[in-house]
Structure 1
Amino acid sequence: MTLKRQFRMRDAFTIAFVFISPIVALYAVFGLVMQAAGPAGWWAFAVVLVLQLLIALSLGVLVSRWPFQGGSYQWARRLVGESYGWAAGWAYIWTIIIVIASNAYAIASFIPPLLGIPDFSLIEHIAVALVILVATTALNLIGPVVLKILTRLSLAAEVVGSIVLATVLLIWHREQPLSILFTSGGAADGDYLWGGFILAMGFVGFGFAGFETVCSMAEEIDRPEKNLPKAIVGALATIGIVVLYSSLALVLSTPDFGAVITGAIVDPAANNITESLGPGIAQPFFGLVIIGFAASMLTAQTSISRVIWSFSRDGVLPASRFMAKLSQKHRTPNRAIIVVGVLAIVITLLAFSEQVYATLVAAAAGGFFVTMGLVVVALFARIVSKKWHAGPFSLGVFTLPVVAAAAAWIVFEVINLAWPRSPGEEVPWYVSWSVPIGLAGIALVGLVVWLSVRDRIRAVNRDLHEHHQIAGEEDTNSAESVATS
């Protein structure tokens, strides 16, 4: 049984758009950015957008050449080798599963203000997040129609929650002059560059990550070698413009940056909206935020289940035969969807300590850039060695400088996210070192699993190598070459 191409260009764009979501990208990090860098932190959104577009262009080049189910797993294994590809895919799987768990937790935090009830206790919060995970998994099992409906509903929510709301704040509730964008407001205690702006770039980088997840569904998308590069670049550019506009409105409508920077106002975005428009407007706004997070969560589960299915099709995961089966009706990997839901539940159950939960989320941020780094750096090496042949989407003479700049940005961001800003001072040591610890944990578990399937990985490598020799070419764009199991 083969996959069904049931998504068009507009669906690919919408999925990429909704996974990041301007609401999620902005409201998840706005308070952190302002506390780190003050009003001038707004420039971090602009700088990081340009740098992330370099990554999007680089990944567009890759998916155009190899439009296969599994995204980074398939690209990395063809760029370097099976074990390298396995490691890239393994890191990506756990990155997205942690993101799914964090989204469920975030949705649960918005329910009390939406309903006007007291905040949940930690146990209640975890329980509600688990219910959300079960519900999302059930929706995903219904079929692609649910994904299409919810993503389009999320687009409408984005228009109201981002563009319309920002316009209202700019026109009728502006509190600050434009010149405030060039001041820190006392943030970072004088260490503005390293402790302020560069730290803010780390937060924004996480907010703008995930646009590439739709590439994991390449074999379900019409003409993916042409449509996916346009979808991921276009979605990221559109989201970036919306976030720049919305964040500008939030900065200029903030009456007291001192309270934001000191932490007296924990969520400046929600506070601005409540103070400017009243609680009657704020409650429906939280409903829009929930829709944005829910759609992002659904698309994340959909895409990462395809990566697991791609692994399973090659037989390089435990229980591969079980997870490689497609549903009869929609030809979707429902068993892989269930596995993702179960693993996200396990991650959520680990969140009974707020510090542990923060550690997991930080690890996800690092995981995004490590995974992208594995493929972009390998692409850079392939181009430099003159062994790269472009697909239908190509940057021509700009390919090398764009990929080189993207690789440099990724390496910088991994160091930025992993570097402990305050070891042993205000937070426990394991929180300061959360990214290295989280990535080390993923790598350790991955090593154990890899050892259990390495013979199969080697067999797949031989099969793929023999296929290329028979074809008389270094690699192939044929989807059949992926299915070696």
Structure 2
Amino acid sequence: MNSPIQPGLLPVDRDAEQLRALGYTSNFERSMSLWQNFALGFTYLSPVVGVYSIFGLCLAAGGPPMFWSYLLVGLGQMLVCLIFCEVVSQFPISGGVYPWARRLVGKRWAWMVGWICSVSLCVTIAAVALGAGPYVATLLGFEANPVTNTVIGLSLTLIATLLNLSGTKLLARVAMFGFLCELIGAIVIGGYLLIFERHQPLSVLFNTFDIRIDGAYWPAFLTASLAGMFLYYGFEACGDVAEETPNPSKRIPKAMRMTIWIGGGASMFAALALILAVPDMQAVISGTDKDPMSTILGSAFGPTGARLVMLVILVSFVSCVLSLQAAASRLLYSYARDEMVMGSRLLQRLSPNTHVPTAALVTCGVIPSAIVCLGLYMQNAIGTVVSFAAIGIYLAFQMIVGAALFARLRGWKPSGSFTLGKWGWPVNIAAQIYGVLAIVNMSWPRTPDAPWYINYGIILVGTIVIVVGLLYMTLFRPYDKGNAPAGDAWKLHRR
């Protein structure tokens, strides 16, 4: 295992030899450049989708100081990202979190990581597709309702599936196009708002407007900090396509860090511009202005300009769904390649023409579509399920951070192109502490007047997902079916 790579090989042969040394062979097309790999992570993170989707809710909850949550959460997630960089640099295998967990700890831990992350990604695809509804309605000039949102969500998922089925090259190009549109759009829209539509002073970023929960501001800020927590993931998608990227050990860690820096910077710029462009902050906080996004864009750009802005936002939603689905399908493919799920023989097949996992992609289109349809009939319940998406991904992340700690305790010394060296231990511990606190904050009950199953909805859904996964794993023992390497990260250093 992990035999030394022969010198003098061509780059593409070195990549294949490295993968072979890790126990796998692959027919993926290695055509994704560093910037295209980064674009995949950026459009998955999607500053426009992340900021614009819950901006109004978080601003009303915590006031303008909610802006600082983007910085604080970004720093916390960078700690997690650095641990991921070490792991993917040594184990550049398609599927991301699942194969990493397999090598760091073992088969059972990996199965649960893959299960939780797969469910969360499918729900996230559905949530983003549904979230595009109101923007499409505004762009086309009709009023959004549950039926139109469902139709738009299904259409968006279908478009993303068809684009993904066309191959890695098209995925990379669309991701790059989405990145450029989103970044340029965020800069142009934000710059215009800051220069011509600024209604608030910079000092407003420190003004709590006397918001209090039980006599203190910090609970309100923690609620508003969900703005950052629902944004800063997507960097792991860079590693999901490791077998489609040349020189992955070096390029993917760099792309991951770029996703945090550039995506986080664009998000903070967009949030700053929106906050300073709010005409009446008190109206937002009091609930009089329930849709500050529409108020800002309508006031600043007028009907025609607002539609152009909506077009940029729509491109961001399409590219976000595309990147999410690509990441989910590679995770499912990796899962199936190790025979960890029903239908593995079909799900692990790559198209001979496009070199992408066709069945896995279709599955990652059908399941989110079913969730979108359920939302039409179970709107209250689906909201709770969707809210689990982000916390499920955070949980999977922390299972990897914890796995890295476990492996370090057993003697693992990262040996990829990227390592933290002596900073490995403190960064790993800090990333674990941050992640646990973030999960507690995201799942904390905040609606005491609501029924218990709503107030504790995220915890309830999370428990159901974990219990179902444990039952499947216990009854069918999928982890015993494959013979791919597992738990060898730290064993290698004991030989």
Does 1:458 find its partner at 2:480? yes
Deviation at 1:371, TM superposition (A): 0.3
2:201 alignment partner, one of 177, 185, 189 = 177
The match for 2:18 is: none
Q: Give the secondary structure class of the aligned counterpart of 1:294.
A: helix
What's the TM-score, normalizing by structure 1? 0.92
The match for 1:2 is: 27
Describe the shift of the 1:350–1:251 C-alpha distance in structure 2 as closer, same or farther (beyond 3 A). same
Structure 1 residue identity aligned to 2:65: A
The question of whether the paired residues in 1 share the 8 Å contact of 2:101 and 2:400 is answered with yes
State how 1:247-396 maps to structure 2 within 5 Å.
247-351=271-375, 352-396=377-421
Q: Distance in 2 between matches of 1:439 and 1:230?
A: 32
The match for 2:210 is: 186
> What do residues 98-146 of structure 1 show as CA deviations (whole Å, max 9, x unaligned)?
11001110112211111111223x2332233222222221222122233
Q: Distance in 1 between matches of 2:234 and 2:459?
A: 20
The match for 1:48 is: 73
1:139 alignment partner, one of 163, 182, 203 = 163
Deviation at 1:243, TM superposition (A): 1.3
Per mean C-alpha deviation after superposition, the further-off stretch among 250-259 and 230-239 is 250-259
Deviation at 1:379, TM superposition (A): 0.8
Deviation at 1:37, TM superposition (A): 0.9
Structure 2 residue identity aligned to 1:473: L
The question of whether the paired residues in 1 share the 8 Å contact of 2:105 and 2:406 is answered with no
Q: Give the secondary structure class of the aligned counterpart of 2:142.
A: coil
The question of whether the paired residues in 2 share the 8 Å contact of 1:95 and 1:363 is answered with yes
The match for 1:240 is: 264
Does 1:115 find its partner at 2:140? yes
Q: Give the secondary structure class of the aligned counterpart of 1:280.
A: helix
> What do residues 182-237 of structure 1 show as CA deviations (whole Å, max 9, x unaligned)?
11123344655442111222331111122212211111111111111100111111
Does 1:446 find its partner at 2:469? yes
Structure 2 residue identity aligned to 1:314: D
Structure 2 residue identity aligned to 1:85: A
Larger proportion of helix? 1
Q: Give the secondary structure class of the aligned counterpart of 2:63.
A: helix
Per mean C-alpha deviation after superposition, the further-off stretch among 219-228 and 380-389 is 380-389
RMSD, aligned CA: 2.2
- What is the aligned length? 469
Q: Distance in 1 between matches of 2:38 and 2:335?
A: 25
Unaligned runs of 5+ in 2: 1-25
Q: Distance in 1 between matches of 2:493 and 2:109?
A: 17
Structure 1 residue identity aligned to 2:407: R
Structure 2 residue identity aligned to 1:114: L
Per mean C-alpha deviation after superposition, the further-off stretch among 261-270 and 410-419 is 261-270
Q: Distance in 2 between matches of 1:431 and 1:451?
A: 29
> What do residues 65-114 of structure 1 show as CA deviations (whole Å, max 9, x unaligned)?
11111111111111111010010011111111111001110112211111
The match for 2:430 is: 405
The match for 2:454 is: 431
The match for 1:90 is: 115
Q: Give the secondary structure class of the aligned counterpart of 2:401.
A: helix
Describe the shift of the 1:58–1:238 C-alpha distance in structure 2 as closer, same or farther (beyond 3 A). same
Q: Distance in 1 between matches of 2:273 and 2:323?
A: 28
Q: Distance in 2 between matches of 1:97 and 1:265?
A: 32
Deviation at 1:341, TM superposition (A): 0.7
Deviation at 1:288, TM superposition (A): 0.8
Deviation at 1:20, TM superposition (A): 0.8
The question of whether the paired residues in 1 share the 8 Å contact of 2:117 and 2:393 is answered with yes
Per mean C-alpha deviation after superposition, the further-off stretch among 223-232 and 139-148 is 139-148
Does 1:421 find its partner at 2:452? no
Q: Distance in 2 between matches of 1:265 and 1:146?
A: 41
The question of whether the paired residues in 2 share the 8 Å contact of 1:112 and 1:119 is answered with yes
Q: Distance in 2 between matches of 1:415 and 1:350?
A: 28
Q: Give the secondary structure class of the aligned counterpart of 1:415.
A: helix
Describe the shift of the 1:7–1:97 C-alpha distance in structure 2 as closer, same or farther (beyond 3 A). same
The question of whether the paired residues in 1 share the 8 Å contact of 2:51 and 2:227 is answered with no
Does 1:22 find its partner at 2:43? no
Describe the shift of the 1:365–1:188 C-alpha distance in structure 2 as closer, same or farther (beyond 3 A). farther
Structure 2 residue identity aligned to 1:61: E
Describe the shift of the 1:11–1:453 C-alpha distance in structure 2 as closer, same or farther (beyond 3 A). farther
Structure 2 residue identity aligned to 1:414: I
Deviation at 1:363, TM superposition (A): 0.4
Unaligned runs of 5+ in 1: 477-485
Q: Distance in 2 between matches of 1:7 and 1:300?
A: 16
Q: Distance in 1 between matches of 2:357 and 2:311?
A: 30
What's the TM-score, normalizing by structure 2? 0.90
Q: Distance in 2 between matches of 1:280 and 1:460?
A: 57
Deviation at 1:459, TM superposition (A): 4.5
The question of whether the paired residues in 2 share the 8 Å contact of 1:29 and 1:204 is answered with no
